[in-house]
């Protein structure tokens, strides 16, 4: 079906230090606000609106944030590039 996400993603929990993403009901990843500061001040509604157009690609349209899944698995391998300050 055109326009349908090919892989499932959902925010499963939010904590003061970050939030958890559940991928395909199998893998849960923690997104730390320290590693991804543009999420730290985002309204909950905007965090929950996440899309996964490809298995390796996550997108938050309300925040205009694109992330590779591996950048969450291994943030040390992906230098932070953002115009935002925490």
Fold of the CATH domain 9-77:
NE0471 N-terminal domain-like (3.30.2020)
Q: Which two tokens stand for residue 75?
A: 């943030």
Give per-residue pLDDT as tens, 8-24.
999 999 999 999 999 99
Tokens of 41: 């001040």
pLDDT confidence of residue 83: 47
Coil/strand/helix, residue 32: strand
Model pTM greater than 0.75?
Answer: yes
pLDDT of residue 76: 86
CA distance 19 to 29: 8
Domain parsing of the chain, residue ranges: 9-77
Strands 18-23 and 9-15 turn out to be antiparallel
pLDDT digits (tens, 9 = 90+) for 46-83: 999 999 999 999 999 999 999 999 999 998 888 765 44
């Amino acid at each position: 079906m055109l326009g349908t996400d090919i892989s499932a993603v959902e925010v499963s929990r939010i904590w003061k230090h970050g939030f958890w993403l559940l991928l395909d009901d199998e893998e849960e990843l923690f997104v730390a606000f320290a590693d991804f500061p543009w999420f730290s001040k985002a309204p909950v509604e905007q965090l929950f609106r996440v899309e996964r157009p490809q298995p390796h690609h996550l997108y938050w349209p309300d925040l205009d944030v694109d992330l590779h899944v591996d950048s969450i698995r291994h943030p040390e391998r992906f230098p932070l590039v953002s115009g935002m300050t925490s």
